[in-house]
Amino acid sequence: MSDYTMTIDGKAESAKATFGVINPATEEVFAQPPECTRAQLDSAMDSAATAYKAWRKDEARRRQALLDCSEAIKARMAELAKLLTQEQGKPIDKAMEEIFGAAIWFQYTASLQIPVEVIQDNEQARIEIRRRPLGVVGAITPWNFPLMLGVWKIAPALLAGNTVVIKPSPFTPLTTLALGEILRSVLPPGVLNVVSGGNELGSWITSHPAVRKISFTGSVATGKKVAASAAPDLKRVTLELGGNDAAIVLGDVDVKATAQKLFWGAFSNTGQICSAIKRVYVPESIYGAVVNELAEIARGVKVGNGLEAGMQLGPLNNKPQFDRVSELVEDARKTGARIVTGGKRLGVKGYFYEPTIVADISDGTRLVDEEQFGPALPIIAYRNVEDAVERANATHYGLSGSVWSADREKAAEVAVQLDCGTAWVNQHLAIAPNLPFGGAKWSGIGVENGPWGLLGFTEIQVVNVSKA
């Protein structure tokens, strides 16, 4: 038995088998959520399919329900934030931001309209373009922003008239399970089902006959499996996948001020953000100055258990990710790169890794070419901007990127040349509920957020009324 329960058909559901959730700051198992069985997933799907029939009919009710979800989260923020820090590792104030953000996302989404476009209304015909819901949505989320990324799916899916079965990552299932519990008194039974388990449960969802749309956030490798699994049944997919964002610094920047922004664009959430800066291209003229400044900042950052006051960064979320970051830094070291600061484990307990700045490194090294998803940033020297853009684009990834300059218009001209979903100028990670977010190339298919994200949970229906 476990203290954490799934939400199936509006009710608490436990399972005979459970799995351990590790606090990454202590490496101790502190919770045992249920391992969903195939039969339990089937009942969650049945319940979602049944609830869909009534839920899709009343838009005003759905809109109000989203506002109620927002209030319900706000009422439990402190408790949810503590749980999030325990399972994910992020500092408690950042956990509060994520929970508050989830509430705000519900609130904002409630304000969106589901458009009905009348494109002809004359003596021949009245023709409307309507947006219909799809049915049951299977939502699958990763471990870096478990609650926020869940709500990015739940809120628009529900507003559009769909019902949802969501599965969080086995590394961070608890806040999503808690959300399900909190929303049992807000949403009708079956509208939101929350199930927990491992990767196999994910594949049961993506191949389940009841599901008409899969909204997935995670790695490229899994995203491809999800797309393949959706194909035989032609399920709709939105895929939000990995990134290897480049920041291109131009030679005219204020080095000190820019380094601060670059640092937090790369190291926020301990580097575990899909659209974090993952490589920085700097002109030779200011290379040394930028590297030194970034290293100086890295040395001063407070890293520790997120439940302790004043921490700026927590641990990596899990052992495989800790091992991966260590391996990529070791590989860079072996191939002749310079570890300017960091480059090793911090302390003896917990998946803490020193904020790491790596210089004298170039494309062709794993730390530059692959997504590190952790606190180790390679800084690469370039001679001319065209070359930097070409190298930034020479990847299968295409999530986002940024260009930095004292001349923002000049920077914007460079930014539009980046092959990615979001091109920032003099900032990175500026993500908001009203902006579409998604990736080019292998970084994804479709977008989330804003009216564009909402429409991803609908399909077009033409209603063509003859007046002849």
Question: Both tokens of residue 8?
Answer: 């199936």
Number of residues near ligand NAD (by CB under 6 A)? 29
Q: Give the span between the Cα atoms of 211 and 202, in whole angstroms.
A: 12
74 touching ligand NAD, by CB under 6 A: no
Q: Does the CA dihedral 176-29-276-142 come out positive or negative? A: negative
Extract the tokens encoding 259: 């380094």
Question: In the complex, what is the shortest distance from the CB of residue 269 to ligand NAD, in angstroms, rounded to a whole number?
Answer: 10
Residue 179 CB, nearest approach to ligand NAD (Å)? 15
Q: Which of residues 356-395 bind ligand NAD (CB under 6 A)?
A: 371, 373
Q: Which is nearer to ligand NAD, 9 or 240 (CB)?
A: 240
Question: Which C-beta is closer to ligand NAD: that of 218 or that of 456?
Answer: 218
Stretch (H or E) spanning 50: helix 38-55
User: What is the closest distance, in whole angstroms, from the C-beta atom of residue 394 to ligand NAD in the complex?
Assistant: 19
Residue number with CB closer to ligand NAD (433 or 444):
444
Considering only the stretches 32-40, 179-187, 213-221, 336-344, report the one whose residues sit in contact with ligand NAD under the rule CB under 6 A.
Answer: 213-221
Q: How far is the CB of 360 from ligand NAD (least distance, A)?
A: 26
Per CB under 6 A, 322 contacts ligand NAD:
no
Confirm whether 69 is a catalytic residue: no
**Which CB, 255 or 431, lies closer to ligand NAD?**
431
Q: Which of 42, 68 has the CB closer to ligand NAD?
A: 42
Provide the mask over 249-288, with x wherever binding to ligand NAD is found by CB under 6 A and - wherever it is not: -------------------------x--------------
**Pick from 41, 48, 194, 241: which binds ligand NAD (CB under 6 A)?**
241
Binder to ligand NAD among 243, 375, 398, 433 (CB under 6 A)? 243
**DSSP character for 111?**
T
CB neighbour list of residue 344: distance below 8 Å, 6 or more residues apart: 353, 354
What is the three-class DSSP state of 48?
Answer: helix
The pairing of strands 376-382 and 400-404 is unpaired
Q: Which of 240, 293, 354, 448 is catalytic?
A: 240
Q: Residues 6 or more apart from 148 whose CB is under 8 A from it?
A: 98, 101, 102, 105
34 and 145 Cβ atoms separated by less than 8 Å: no
* CB of residue 281 to ligand NAD, shortest distance in Å: 20
Residues 405-444 that bind ligand NAD (CB under 6 A): 439, 444
CB of 104 to ligand NAD, least distance (A): 17
Shortest distance, position 92 Cβ to ligand NAD, whole Å = 21
Angstrom distances, CA of residue 159 to CA of 104, 148, 250, 351, 410: 15, 17, 43, 39, 40
DSSP 309: T
| DSSP string across 337-405 | -EEEE--SB-SSSSS-B--EEEES--TTSHHHHS---SSEEEEEEES-HHHHHHHHHSSS--SEEEEE-
Which residues 6+ apart lie within 8 Å of 93 measured at CB? none
Of the residues 274, 371, 420, 448, only one is catalytic, namely 274
Strand order in the sheet with 136-140: 11-13, 6-8, 192-194, 163-167, 136-140, 211-217, 236-240, 444-445
Write out the binding residues for ligand NAD, residues 215-234 only, by CB under 6 A: 217-219, 222, 225-226
The residue number with the shortest CB distance to ligand NAD is: 202
β-pair partners for 107: none
Among 24, 34, 202, 453, binds ligand NAD (CB under 6 A): 202
Footprint (CB under 6 A) of ligand NAD, residues 149-188: 149, 167, 169-170
Order the strands of the 458-466 sheet from edge to edge. 117-121, 125-133, 458-466
- Is residue 274 part of the annotated active site? The answer reads yes
x/- track of binding to ligand NAD for residues 115-144 (CB under 6 A): -------------------------xxxxx
Q: Residue 172 has what DSSP assignment? A: S
Provide, rounded to whole angstroms, the least separation between the CB of residue 266 and ligand NAD. Answer: 14
Residues near ligand NAD (CB under 6 A) are 140-144, 149, 167, 169-170, 199, 202-203, 206, 217-219, 222, 225-226, 240-243, 274, 371, 373, 399, 439, 444
Catalytic residues: 240, 274
